[in-house]
Structures are given as structure tokens and as C-alpha cells.
Structure 1
Amino acid sequence: MTSPDLPALAAEDFPAYFAAVHGCAPFPWQVTLVRRLAAGGGWPAALDLPTAAGKTAVLDAALFHLALDAARAPAERRARLRIALVVDRRLVVDGARERALRIADKLAAAERDATAAPVLRAVAERLRALAGGTAGDGGAPLGVACLRGGIPRENAWAESPVQPLLILATVDQIGSRLLFRGYGLSEYAHPLHAGLLGEDTLILLDEAHLSAPFLDTLRAVADYGGARWRETPPLRPLQAVPLSATQAPIDGALRLGVEDRACEELARRLRAAKPARLLDADAAQLVARLADCARALRRDCEPAPVVTDLFTPAERCAPVVGVVVNRIATARAVHAELRQDAEADALLLIGRMRPLDRDVLVAQHLPRLRAGRADGDNPRPLYVVATQTVEVGADLDFDALVTQSAPLDALRQRFGRLNRLGARDAAAPAAIVHVRDAKDDDPVYGGAIAATWKWLASIAEAPAKRRGQPKPEPTVDFGSDALAARLPAGGAPPGCLSPRPQAPVLLPAHVDRLAQTSPAPALSPEPALWLHGPDTAPAEVQLVWRADLPELGADGEDDDGALEAALAAVGALPPASLEALSLPLWTVRDWLAGRGDGAGDDGDVEGAREPAGRRGDDRGGRRVLRWAGTDSRAVAPRELRPGDTLVVPTTWGGLDREAGWAWNPATRAPVPDLAEAAYAQARQRTVLRLGTACVAQWAVAHSGAADAVAAALRVLAEVFDDADAPPSAHALLQGLGALDGLPDAVRARLDALEANGARLLVYGHGRMLVERRPAVVAADDGDDASLTVPVGLDDHCRGVGAQARAFAAALGLAPALVDDLGRAGDLHDLGKADPRFQAWLYGGDARAARRAPLLAKSGLAQGMDASDRRAAAAARDRAGYPRGARHECTSVQLLRAHPALLAGAHDAELVEYLVGTHHGRGRPFLPVVDDAGAERLDARFEALGQHLHLRGAHRLERLEAGWPELFARLQRRYGWWGLAYLEALLRLADHHRSAAEQAGAAAAIPLPLGEGQG
């Protein structure tokens, strides 16, 4: 079945691919997995592998399988295009992202380098064949997405249904999307994300024992997406595979084999000795006890100096001592204590950090604590204080470990960071500290801590007492092989594992309600129940700090225009997930309401239940801006909702500079504003805000910049107060560029603006330099006036139809579906022929619209910024097109009035439905709009070679129009996720065509034809 146009590739090439990407050979189990997939054996029921066995390499195996399958005809491909690694630890998501980016970078480089390893070029070319286009069109053979939070308009991962993609995500972020309730996304984006994840996606659930409810839910979704629950056969429904080092035994799981045990590299990791002393302390002594143990182990691990000659000592690595605890508050306290050690450095790693801050912190320290570090990489002793966030997948390597007592599975994960590669000849020392007066029912771990401690005490060995020395503490060897030999046959002693709640049974009735996204039912199921179990908290919220955000006042106060100023400031530079901090809803609510310090002594895990006794009066407190694009507004603490993106002033504090800007609600010092840095990464475009508060921010994160800030403010005053010369980007760049002492990040932005051209944008009370090249903006389904470049209605519709057909054919859909999707694309925007809509596109000038050709996109935005929504709204009002009216409804009205438009459709109901839902509305009701002017409509026009007549209101919002029944019939026909997937294909075809038109390349993006197609 291999296509002659693609380079040869076989399962036997996997070791060469692995070595070319990662610089080492794969383990035998990784090779075995690829051979199994290539032979058609499918994925095993689970991957049951110990810590440090290289489970993250499952991304390589899945991707190589996709490259192998790329040569098959599209309908015969079974490897999924989207490969998602999911885990409920934030640090792991970011760590796995580094591996995914390395793979993507190597493949992209191989396309450009004729001397690259042939196997890399073969994999890249095969993935490119799936993605469409050529190596020179600016795309990539492999995309990488990290789903950290639901920020409106930041959906770049969902821009192409044919792009091979590695997704790294938390349970909340991918689970909520899969259940049609993507946290933080608009209701109109819900079916788009659900459709893409529910079809042609492989979900690898890492450390599945931590996410048992979500695993139950994944299995239910895979079943509901299959053939039993739809009238038409699925092509590639969701597939889920659990990964874990400590999960319960599963029949059909892939485990280490004889070849793995014979592999010296892997065997060394498994047999490495890790003796842990069992210690205890009262709760009041815990922090001091942990810190004392860490200091003692650091001294024990100090390397003896090695002299290579009489004068020159060899450079040796100082020890890295890990301290892992169960609560964020405990981690902060231990970190503060260890920072007092003048002979060592201390690093705090918790999940409660903004991604950009964490990236900086890890980049600074990773060479010092990564697995496989070389001599000299860590010149000073280093304490790494962490929460549960390092238990999973983090490629860190400690020379010694102190851990708070925890369930057995959590301890095994923590010990997986100790002597991770087994490279040390001597045993790696450790200590486990148990709180002897703690309650047996821990808020995070229940009774598992007490049960595990009791079992450890029963198997511990007491070393021989030396004369004159105190009695030694009992010891348990946590080496992988050593501990496995002590475990009972069932895998773990009774009661010693972390609580594994079961998700409620996901019933078809639940899915019916979840799939209703626009509008959602008044009584809608809470997705958290199926992500973390019934005893869970609401989803987290995203917190963003901005320097130019005005105070919105307390609950119940009048904002005196502050809200309008806040909307203008944030709207000019919308939030990005890289600058957002994920926090439990109740933590933010407490912080805003001024209850205590808002810290909470909670664990660093998703879905943790709200602390007992925390509930207080949610009235009062500071109001914040809930950012939701055009639906943004000020909210009080009691109004916060799961998934909210909240924007607060930097002057409120909340992040601890000494801890690498980790969450600490007790701090009041100003927080760095990361908007420019996050925008540059998310949109590949440089901006620089010049308001007084934003310029003053330059000195917050950059000590020593106070003089430069004062000089910059003088330059700005001179430029903006010069009556003889209006302010210009050139004058600002010249004046600011001549200053000394600017922070490096500011200097780099000024250089980029100077090199690429800049313009000055005024918004509200703010001013900003903006790079002239266009931003990379994800698809938006807000107002649809389409202020871009002028595009004719016929050209746009036919272009979308061609793109939809190309997508559907490349994905291997049945020919009838390919044709119907293309037909829906041809017809999707007919409703824009409404004379009032055309007047809107012509700036509100109805007379000009009557004399000109029908447009799908307006050219009025040329020279304007795309964020100027006021101009679009004003044009709409002049045109008389009602707020909330949807051109999709008018398109359906025309289809029903002119049956010839659907003649030849294989499923006319599907075509009509896709046209009506191509902006996410109509699931199950189309919007109700007060449109008195529609009754006077009586327009005749020609479109797509047809003479059409538009008359009166569409009335599709009425029950007798049958739209909800149509929605229900098509869900039974194509499945809940299958129908959403078909919607996504049309919507993304529309987005692709629009992007090509805006870029001046008004042509459908070419995609390859598979074998047997023509």
C-alpha cells in the first residue's frame, strides 16, 4: 500500500529515528511497541512501566506509527493525527512540551537540510503529506500545542483538521473540551474543540492512577463515539491508552520484557539502591525537621575534591537535594527556611506559577538538576523544594531526597526522581518524614498516608547500631527492584494507594445535555464530576496581571468609567495563556474577598476538593475584569465561574519574587506584567505599551532600571507634548532607542520594532507601538462583519467549498460526505446577501451597497486595526442590521426557499444543518433576535449562478421551524462527536480560506490525494 511518492519507511527504522532526534537508542519496549503498531496489532490495553523507563517516549512511538500509516489511502489510515499526552500535573505538561518541541524542531530542520538523517527526512515528508502544502509554504510537518488554560481567541491548535499534532494538556483542559464545555472558551467554540478531540485523536493518559475518574470517562466517550451509538459508521473515533508505573494490573498491558531487563541502561535504573530512613515529627516541627534533614543529606553528599595534578582540582557537581511535600504552604515554608543556608541555593517548584515565569525559572536551573547532567553543571549545592507537581514525568535527578510521608504510589513516583538514571555507584540517601500527630483522614490523600506508614514500618530494616552512636532509624530501600520484591502479589498493600474515586456513570442523557452548547441547558451537568469524581471542586480559573488596568472598585461600587478603560486596555492586548496562572476558584475568591491570606493549605493537584470549613460569606470584595472578548465585564468574587479568565492590577501583588514569582497571596509587592512577552510568543508579533504604568513596570522585574524608566518617561512626555510635530512611531523609537540602561527585553522589542517597521496605536487612554507585520490570530467566531480585505461572495463561498472538499478527502471521509461538506461550504455565506448586511460591509452605506457587487468580506478595514470593534458596530447600526442577527440563519432561509440549491445533496438535512451552525450557533436553538426590519425584506440577487429571492424573516428560532429536531436526528445519524467533527471541518475550511484571502493568497490550500483517489 506504500505510495510511490513518499520515501520508504519501516518499523525497523525506528531506532535510527530515535537516535537522530534524541541522541540515544530506544529501550527494547519502545521498539516492541512500534513493531506491534506497524504490524496492525493496535495499542495495548495499557502501558504498565516503572518510573524512569522512558514512558514519555510513547509520543515518539505514536508519531512514528502515524508516519508509517501516512502512505495508506486516507480511508485506510488508522493511526490518529492528534496525539495528546494528558496528566494532572502542570510541571509535567510543560516538561513533556520540551520533548515534543524537540521532535518538531528536528523534523522541521530535516526538511531544510539535505544532509539530515534520511529517516528524519522520511518521517517529516510523510507527516507533511498528511498536513498538506510544501516545505516552503511556512507550515510545519508537525504541530505542538500546550493546553494550559482556556483563553478566548487563543485556539491555534484547532486551526487545521489535517495537521499532525502533539498535544500536551492537563486533565481539566482536554477533558472539559472533550465534554463540550471547554473551560474558559466561548460556547460557540465548544463543538469545534469537542469534534476535533472526539475524532482522529489518541489520548495517552500519563500516570492514569492519578486520574481514575477521567480514565472511566475516556472509555465511556470512546464507546459513545463508536458504531453502537450512531447510524453511520465512524472512521477514527477517540482512542485512549493509560500509562502508569503504579496502576492496578490490567490484562493486555505492555510491560517490561526479558530484553528490557537485559538492557544495561534500563537495568541500572531498576536496581539502583535508594535507602530511605523513616523519621517522624510533630506537625509544629515538620518544616524544621524537613529542612534539617535536607541540610544533613546535602553535607553527606558533598563530593570529595578530586585533584588531577598537584595544583588543579577537577570540577565536580555539587549535590542536588530534593524536598517533596504534600502542601503548597509547607513547600513555601521549607523553601524560606532553606534559603537561609549560605552554602547552597534553594529553588521552589510548584504548579502555581505562570508558564512564562516557570519557563524562566526552569531554564535558569534545569542544567543544574536535569537527569544526565555533566560534571560542573551544578557548581553549588542546590535544594529543590517541590510539591506533588514533580511526581510525574519531570526529568529531574536528585542526589538525595527528603519527602513528607505520602501514599505508596506517590512515594514511588517521588523516588523516581532520586538517582533517576542509576548512574551513581553508591546508594542514594533519602528520608521519609511522617507527621505523627496528623489526622488519619488527610484532605488530599485520605487514610492512605497512615496505612502506608504502618506498612513501611512493618518491612523496614534496622541497621546495626554502632558503639557510641545513637540507634539508627529503620530503613526501606525504595529502589525499583528492591521495593517490588517486598510488595504483595496484588501490587500494593491494602489501603496504601492514593484515593481512586470513580466517575459517575456517563449516561446518554448526560451526553445529550452536554452536546447542547448554544445555548447550553439551564440545568447542565458539571464536567468536573467526570474529570475528577463526585467529591471534587469546581474547575480552576486563570489569573492575569496587567499594569495598565484601573481599579474597578469593590463589590457594589460604581466604577466611574473604569470598566470602559479596562476593556480598552485589555482589548488592545488580549490575555494569553502564557501569562495566566491557574488557581482553584475558591482560592481566588478568598483572595479577592480578603479572607485570611487566600492561601489555603491545599495540595498541588487538579480537582482537589475545597478545604473543609472554608465556606464563608462571598459578598463584598474587590471586583475584577472577567475577560471573554466582547462579553467581558466586571465581576465580584461571588460571581466567579469555573474556567474564568480574570484580569487584575499588578499592584495587587500575589506572587513571590523570592520564590521565582510563585503564587503567594500574602505578598503585596507589584507583580511583573508579562503581556508583551506572552503576546510575542502567542502571536509572533512585537508590541510595546507606552503608558506610564507600563513603562514603570520595566523596573519591577529588572532591578537597576529605575534611571532608564525615568528617562523613558521624559522622552514620552517630549514626543507627546510636542505641538509642532504630532507623535509618531519613528520619533518614539528614536528617542527610546537612544537611552542607556534599558532592560534587555525592552531593548530587544525596540530593535524588532525598528527592524520590522512599527506604527503607533492609540486605545482608550493608552498608547502602544505595534509591529507592522500581521499577528497570528486564531479563528474568531464573534462579530461577523469580516473587516479584512474585500472578497466577493461567490469567490469566498466557492473557495470554502473547495477547501472543505480537500479537507474531507484528505481525511478519508466517504465520497458522499466529501461532496456534502463541499456543498455546505459553497452555500454557507449566502445569507450575507441580505441588503442590510451588505450595507454593513460597505461601512453602513446602503446606496453604495446597492450599486456594488455582493461581498463576503469588507475592505473597509484597510488601514484600521483589527481590534477596532467600535467602527464595525457603528457601521452595523447605520446599515440597520440588528445586533445579534446571524447571516447563517438567512442562509438556511434561502436554502429552504430554493430547494434547487440542495439538489444532488446526498444528505440535504446535513448540508442545511452545517450551513446553519458554521459559527457555532444552533445547537440546539438558533438565536432569537428582535428584527422588525426583516418583515420588509424583499431582495432579488444572483449568487453561485442562481437567481435568488430573499423575502421576510427567517423564523428559524421558532419551535415549529423544526431546528431542534433536525439537530437531534443528525446526532443520532452521525453521533455526538461525529456531528461536531463534521461541523469543525466546515468551520476550519472557512477559517483557512479567510486567512488565505487576508494574506492575499486567495486559493484553497492544496492537500494530497490518497491512493485510489482522483
Structure 2
Amino acid sequence: MAQHSSYGDLFRAAMNGQDPYPYQCDVASGTHLPALIDVPPGLGKTAAVVVGWLWFRLFHPSAEVRESTPRRLVITLPMRTLTRQTYTVVRDILDELQLDVGLGLLTGESGDRKTRPWRLEPHRNVILIGITDIVTSSAMSRSYGSSRSCFPIDAGLIWNDSHIVLDEVQLIPNATATLRQISAFQTQHGASRFGLTCMSATVTRALLSTVDNPFPSADETVRIAEGDQPESLLRRLHSARTIIRLDADTKNAKDFAAEILRLHRPGTLTLVVINTVDRATEIYVKATTLAPTTGPAITLLHSRFRPYERDSYIDRIGTEPHDDILIATQVVEAGIDLDAATLITEAAPWSSLVQRSGRCNRAGWRTDATVYWVVPPSAAPYEDDDVDATVAALTAVDGESVTNAELLAIPANEAIPLVPVLRESDFEALFDTAPDLSGNDFDVSPYIRDSDDMDAQLTWVDLESAPPTPDTKIPDPQFRCRVPLKKVLDVATRATKRKTIWSYAHSERKWVQISKIRPPRPGEILLVDKSAGLYDPHKGFDPKSDKPVTIPEPDDASSREYRLIDSAVTSDSSDADGGSIDHSQWLSLDQHLTETQAQARVLVENLPLESALRDDVVLSAYLHDLGKAHSTWQNALQATGEPPDRNIAWAKSPGTSRLVYEGDITSFRHELASVAILDAEMSHLLDKAHDRDLVRYLIAAHHGKIRMKVRDLDGAATGTVFGIAEGSADVFPVLDEPAQQVSLTTDQFRTVNPGGQGWVEMTADLIERYGLCRLSYLEMLVRVADWRASSRRFQIPEGAAQ
């Protein structure tokens, strides 16, 4: 790794010789990233935080600063789409510097060959590009798009060793307030090395000043200072566009489309921003019909496209279009670098209007840039007062040439959004990821977005006219389309059998139909048969489309890597231990435990953990699957094929059939059996533990099923707790222990244990001892070590497997 003696030197190396702006130097002038960056759009805020974080983490002259900087930088964009350009900027910076820093996604997409399966490498430095919904829901331990049992993984990673950067916070008031609150709670709940930076050109003090986290102080804020600035920055700051009200009748989509074609200047980009997806789509259809065959390329862009199609459109338009009309919605307000000669926009809240204006003459080279604006037929999805205030402000400057800075200075009286506030008691309650007895859960959606703005992930699969099963393969994230919950329910309630939409009910362990009784939930993955249609590659989600949907085969390396995560998620979503079958070959339990121990040692070696916690994580990994030596589990696994030796314990089988247990047992949680065996005759295996209860908890939690509560819905019928019966049980030889009978008890798993501490009381004590943030982090490390060992893709350094 090349050394850089100053931030300016590092910035020039990262940005192809470009000097940093003074404000970008201010970002890196302290010992950590600032809490607030209040800078207009188009001035390199992404580069400022990325190179700033690299400076603090890898190159700062103070070892203390380097060590105190989180190893994950999470750049969070407000829109659910258009992360592509931010991803490209970060990738190019890392390529220029040739650093061993990972690049990952928290967007539900697959990225490219540079993308790493970052969850499997929590010990590496990595930059993540995320979207608000997933990052905020992860920080609330309810990660959208993940199975319930995987919630603690992302929570542990986001709460610890991560610095979150929120871009354009005025567009995400609910999530901003929530993450500001969580950052105030992290310290007292055991989190290590974390930070939060908010970025915006239109900062609202009331939004950033929350109950437990006041508005950032002046020394934690970076702004563009008055005085001398480089010419390149002044050109962008003073880039002007003429504001003109479009007097033509634009309520009719066909007339509006004709006006767009008339105003377009050949050889340039015309950007059209419409407030609703339905109206944007209607105008796009009319424009493509009216446009001559030799005319400009016309593209539609909104939030209801699959990444597979959407990214190809963005790549084609690029930053230097030749002859394009882009008809879009609010998705272009952040996360995409467009430089249009002509902007045609509907009036919207002032902060949104300023963001749209910043996409016109962005670089400041044009002298003829024009912003045409119209009053929309309806204020939706905004408030009437906010749109009316913008109309008044635009009318006041109609016909004038103005800069974005001048627009920002106009008081447009935009209403301050009222958002729910996450209190500390709610945050503490989120640690428990188990649903209630009815299968319901803490609804985090109001803390992330307005209820009208929530969506689910619709995914097309080949069901061949049959309902999906728990083994149905879910397509890669690039083939999932985000659809508003109301739209999903509208389709589902009037759907034919061919258009049935399916949701996985974890409490019932099967896919069920979406209906008014079972409505879609924010962020969840929904399945529909590809023959149902409902999607057009040029228009996105389309309830009127009956054409079968194409499901291309992923062909990039990152998709194959992400399947490793998906397979782990799939195995966690079932009680049948799917991760233990369909393996390449028979794998002994001793070998798997030893390899998992070694992977845990690799992970903790350079993490900011006390030595006692490192030891207990490694020990937990070594003992995590001990319960697979229980005869009930071994007999089920060995029935899936013909093992080389039936007298030793196996961890993985090449068989493809599901595990079927003896008698009436439908669910056998081997991780709970591990604890039961360690509480019996093999308790001496815990003698090296610094905290026996911590190790017991980490073992029980390594599939995300057994955490604060041990709740077995089938246990009453079988007289067991997840298949584990009181009394003697046969255990296969494992970890140098001979085959033996052990006497098991299950009282310790009950809420109230007459003979001692119950499970709920024990976990509450652990939370009090370590904090819920730290406990989730330790839990994540054991689970990731297991995933890494199971994948067999991560080499074990010499000396780690001891």
C-alpha cells in the first residue's frame, strides 16, 4: 500500500490529480468525519467522505485515530434506486488507490466483480453503498428483505464498527430522526467504534435535533466558507439556469409529451421530473408514440424497475449524453450525477425542487441552461401547502437566471415534517427478534418512511402453476422489483390464480397468498409466477401487463458470491436444517467444528475486542454444533444418504432430501441440543469459558432462532422442547469424547426455571452485562464463522486451526 503523507496527497491520488476543495479538506481536518456536511449538490460530497474516511482509517499519522475509526463506511442514499453512480465513484477511488478495501452493497443488488460478500468479512475494511430502508431497518434489527433469523447479523454489523453517512437527509426525515436517536443510544448499549454523518444542501435544524441527540455543534459541522475559493468550485457554485414557467396545457399527458419534444434541444440531455410514477409512465408512453424514429432516445426511470433493467439505462445515459430525454420521478434527486441542458419539472416541495435544479447545468459550463416548471394536476404525493409555497417562490424568480445557492437562500416556507421518535425503551425492545404468539412483530416502518411510501420486493419465479414450497429458489436481488404495498394488495385482491402473489409465513413454515387478511409487509420478498406478467422492461412494474416476465441467468461473479449469503438465509428460514444437506460431500462434525473455530479465530484476531471475549467467541464457534452429535439429529442426517462410516458424527451430507426426525418430532433445533449436552455430562468442555452463560447463549443463537425466548410451537404435542426430550439421550463420539449416554434437562430453557435461572432471565443479564449492541456483535461473529466454514471458500491461515 502506497503511503500518503497528507490528505491533499491522498485526495489527488484518488481523484486523478484533482485538488480537494477547501471544504473537502475541512472534512478530514479533525480526528473523525463530522456530524454534518452542509454543502450544495454537485460539489463532491461523496468523494469528501470516502477519501476522508480512508485518511482517518488508513493514513492518518496518529495510530490512535486510525484505530478509533470504524472499519465500515456505510453511505446511505435516500432513494431505493440509482445507487449505481455512487457505487462507481467509490469503486474508481479504490481502483486508483489500489487499496485492500472491500466494496459492498446494502441495497438488495448484486454489484459487479469488485463487490464482496461483506457480511462474511466483518474483519476487513469495507465501504458499503446502502439505501435508507435497508440501513435503517438493519439498525432497528428488522432488516428489510432478510429472513427473521438473519436480523441480528446486520444489526450487529451496523451497530458496531460502522460509520453511517446519510445523504440528502431532507428527503428521509423519518429515517434521519431514527438514526440520530440510535446513535445516541449506542454508547450506553455497548457499541464500539461508530459514527453518523448527515449531508444535505437544505438542512433543517428541527430535523437533526432529536430528543436524545441535539443539533450538531459548529465544530462538528462543515460548510463552504466565504472568501477565496478555487475557480473550479466557483464555476459550479455560480452555475446558473433561467427559470421559466411553462404556460402550455400540461395536464393532458399527450399535450405534455408534445411540449417536451418541442423543448428538447438535439444533442443534449433533457431531464423531465414528474411527481408520481403513474403520470411519469403515462407521459413516457405518449412521448415514445409521438417521437420521430430518428429522434432522441427516450428513457423512463422510477423506483419500480428491477435493478437488472434500471442499471442498463443509467449506464447508457451516463454523464455525457448525446441526444436523450429522460423522464423520471424523484429518484433523480439524489445518488445520480446528471447534467441536463434543459430541466422540465412539476412543482414540488422546495427542498426537492432545489435538488432537481442541481441536475441542470451541474458543471456550470452552459450559458443557456433552462428550467421549465409547471403546476402539477395534483399535489400528490406531497402536501398542498408545500407545493403552493414552491409555486409562489418560483413565480417570484420567473424569467430570471439564478444559481442553486440563490435558490437555497429563498425562504419557501416548507413545512417541517412530523416524524415519530424512537425512544430508548423501544430500541431495547427491538433486540428480541421473535414474533408474538400471533406471528406479529414490532412495526418499524413508521420510523423509516411515511406509510404511503413503503414497499415490498416482488420477484418472478417459474412456479409451473403450483404454489411455491420452502425449497423454492429465490432469484438474485437484481431481479427483484420494489412495489408499493398498496399496489401489491390491489393486484393480489383481484388476481386470477395465475397472478397469485405469495409471502413466506415463518410461523407456518410455508408460502401463503397475499390478501386483505394477510397483507404485504414492508421490505419482504414476495413471489409471483413469471407467467403472471405485471412487469414491462421499459415501463417497470405494470399491473396491466400480461406478457411473461424474463428471468435471465446471473452471469457475474458477485452474483455467485451473493448466493452464498442467500443459501445461508434460506437454510435459516427453515427448521429442517437445510444448510446441512446438499453439500459437496460428507463432512465430519469434528472437521466442521475445528474449521469453524479456526474461522472465528481469523475474524477476532484484529477486532477491537477484549481478549476474554475473543476467547469466548472462538470457544462458542468450536462447540456450536455439538448438538448434531445427538442421535435424533444424526439418524436423520444419515438417512439422507450413505455415509462412509455410520459410527462417527457427521455435520454435512451430499443428500438432497429434507431431514426427517423420528417419531412425532417435526422440528429439532440442534443448537439448543448443543446447550443441553453442555449442561449435562459434557459440561467440562466449558471449563475454559470466561463467561459460561455468554458461550451458551452464542451457541444457542447461531441460527438466529433461539435468542431471548425459547418458544416451541410443536413442543406440547411431543413433550419435547424443539425435539429435545428430558432424560437419557445417545450422543455420537465428538471432539475426542466417546459415544455415550447423557442425561438431558430442558428446565433451563423455560421462561421460569424452578431449579435456577430461566433462559429469559439469563439473556437479560447478558444484555445488562455487555449491552445489546455488543451482544449482537458477538452473536454475528459466531454465525459468520459458521457460514465461512460451511462455504469452504475461505482459506484458513496456518496456525489458526489449533
Separation in structure 2 between the aligned mates of residue 800 and residue 880 of structure 1, nearest angstrom: 31
Q: How far is the alpha carbon of 1:830 from its aligned partner?
A: 1.8
Q: Aligned residues: percent identity?
A: 26
Match of 1:653 in 2: 533
Q: 1:925 to 1:778 in 2, by over 3 A?
A: closer
**1:205 and 2:83 correspond:** no
**1:623 and 2:409 correspond:** no
Q: Which aligned pairs between 1:572-587 and structure 2 lie closer than 5 A?
A: 573-587=473-487
**1:1003 and 2:787 correspond:** no
Q: Is the 8 A contact 1:290 1:323 kept in 2?
A: no
Match of 1:398 in 2: 340
Q: 1:273 to 1:7 in 2, by over 3 A?
A: closer
Q: How far is the alpha carbon of 1:288 from its aligned partner?
A: 5.1
Match of 1:360 in 2: 312
Paired residues, what number? 758
Q: How far is the alpha carbon of 1:910 from its aligned partner?
A: 0.9
Q: How far is the alpha carbon of 1:983 from its aligned partner?
A: 0.2
Calculate the TM-score normalised by the size of structure 2.
0.86
Separation in structure 2 between the aligned mates of residue 413 and residue 269 of structure 1, nearest angstrom: 14
Separation in structure 2 between the aligned mates of residue 796 and residue 682 of structure 1, nearest angstrom: 26
Match of 2:276 in 1: 327
Q: Is the 8 A contact 1:70 1:77 kept in 2?
A: no
After superposition, what is the alpha-carbon deviation per residue over 1:868-924, rounded to whole angstroms, capped at 9, x for unaligned? 3xx233xx34x6693321111121112222443332422222111111111112222
Q: Is the 8 A contact 1:839 1:846 kept in 2?
A: no
Q: Is the 8 A contact 1:195 1:984 kept in 2?
A: yes
Separation in structure 1 between the aligned mates of residue 743 and residue 250 of structure 2, nearest angstrom: 76
Match of 2:291 in 1: 341
Q: 1:509 to 1:1005 in 2, by over 3 A?
A: farther
Q: Is the 8 A contact 2:348 2:382 kept in 1?
A: no
**1:852 and 2:647 correspond:** yes
After superposition, what is the alpha-carbon deviation per residue over 1:618-660, rounded to whole angstroms, capped at 9, x for unaligned? x999522335899442413322331332222333322335xx2
Separation in structure 2 between the aligned mates of residue 620 and residue 853 of structure 1, nearest angstrom: 49
SS at match of 1:475: coil
Match of 1:550 in 2: 464
Match of 1:786 in 2: 580
Query: 1:335 corresponds to which letter in structure 2?
Result: Y
Separation in structure 2 between the aligned mates of residue 145 and residue 29 of structure 1, nearest angstrom: 27
1:530 pairs with 428, 434, 447, which one? Answer: 447
Q: 1:847 to 1:655 in 2, by over 3 A?
A: closer
Separation in structure 1 between the aligned mates of residue 453 and residue 280 of structure 2, nearest angstrom: 24
Separation in structure 2 between the aligned mates of residue 225 and residue 333 of structure 1, nearest angstrom: 46
Q: 1:538 to 1:953 in 2, by over 3 A?
A: farther
Q: How far is the alpha carbon of 1:344 from its aligned partner?
A: 2.7
Separation in structure 2 between the aligned mates of residue 685 and residue 189 of structure 1, nearest angstrom: 15
Q: Is the 8 A contact 2:501 2:514 kept in 1?
A: yes
Q: Is the 8 A contact 2:249 2:256 kept in 1?
A: no
**1:906 and 2:690 correspond:** yes
Q: 1:64 to 1:885 in 2, by over 3 A?
A: same
Q: Is the 8 A contact 1:162 1:811 kept in 2?
A: yes
SS at match of 2:143: coil
Match of 2:421 in 1: 505
Q: 1:989 to 1:680 in 2, by over 3 A?
A: closer
1:66 pairs with 57, 61, 66, which one? Answer: 57
1:975 pairs with 755, 765, 771, which one? Answer: 771
Q: Is the 8 A contact 2:499 2:528 kept in 1?
A: no
Q: 1:671 to 1:633 in 2, by over 3 A?
A: same
Query: 2:373 corresponds to which letter in structure 1?
Result: I
Query: 1:477 corresponds to which letter in structure 2?
Result: S
Separation in structure 2 between the aligned mates of residue 246 and residue 940 of structure 1, nearest angstrom: 64
After superposition, what is the alpha-carbon deviation per residue over 1:520-550, rounded to whole angstroms, capped at 9, x for unaligned? 5756321112112xx524841111223x333
Match of 1:28 in 2: 22
Query: 1:650 corresponds to which letter in structure 2?
Result: K
Match of 1:235 in 2: 192
**1:493 and 2:493 correspond:** no
Query: Based on CA coordinates, which of the two structures has the bigger radius of gyration?
Result: 1
Q: Which aligned pairs between 1:373-452 and structure 2 lie closer than 5 A?
A: 373=320, 378=322, 381-424=323-366, 426-435=367-376, 442-452=380-390
Match of 2:407 in 1: 483
1:11 pairs with 1, 6, 9, which one? Answer: 6
SS at match of 1:385: strand
2:636 pairs with 836, 840, 848, which one? Answer: 840
1:55 pairs with 39, 42, 45, which one? Answer: 45
Q: How far is the alpha carbon of 1:989 from its aligned partner?
A: 1.3
Q: 1:644 to 1:845 in 2, by over 3 A?
A: closer
Separation in structure 1 between the aligned mates of residue 61 and residue 600 of structure 2, nearest angstrom: 20
SS at match of 1:427: coil
SS at match of 2:627: helix
Match of 1:94 in 2: 84
After superposition, what is the alpha-carbon deviation per residue over 1:555-585, rounded to whole angstroms, capped at 9, x for unaligned? xxxxxxx22xx449x83x4311100100111
Q: How far is the alpha carbon of 1:267 from its aligned partner?
A: 0.9
Aligned-residue Cα RMSD (Å) equals 3.4
**1:516 and 2:427 correspond:** no
Separation in structure 2 between the aligned mates of residue 493 and residue 262 of structure 1, nearest angstrom: 28
Q: Is the 8 A contact 1:803 1:1005 kept in 2?
A: no
Q: 1:894 to 1:923 in 2, by over 3 A?
A: same
After superposition, what is the alpha-carbon deviation per residue over 1:706-755, rounded to whole angstroms, capped at 9, x for unaligned? xxxxxxxxxxxxxxxxxxxxxxxxxxxxxxxxxxxxxxxxxxxxxxxxxx
SS at match of 1:189: helix
Query: 1:147 corresponds to which letter in structure 2?
Result: T
Q: Which aligned pairs between 1:769-848 and structure 2 lie closer than 5 A?
A: 777-778=567-568, 780-781=571-572, 782=574, 783-784=576-577, 786-787=580-581, 788=583, 789-843=585-639
Separation in structure 2 between the aligned mates of residue 845 and residue 329 of structure 1, nearest angstrom: 54
After superposition, what is the alpha-carbon deviation per residue over 1:59-118, rounded to whole angstroms, capped at 9, x for unaligned? 232234322269948x971211221111221333233122233344x16xxxxxxxxxxx
SS at match of 1:922: coil
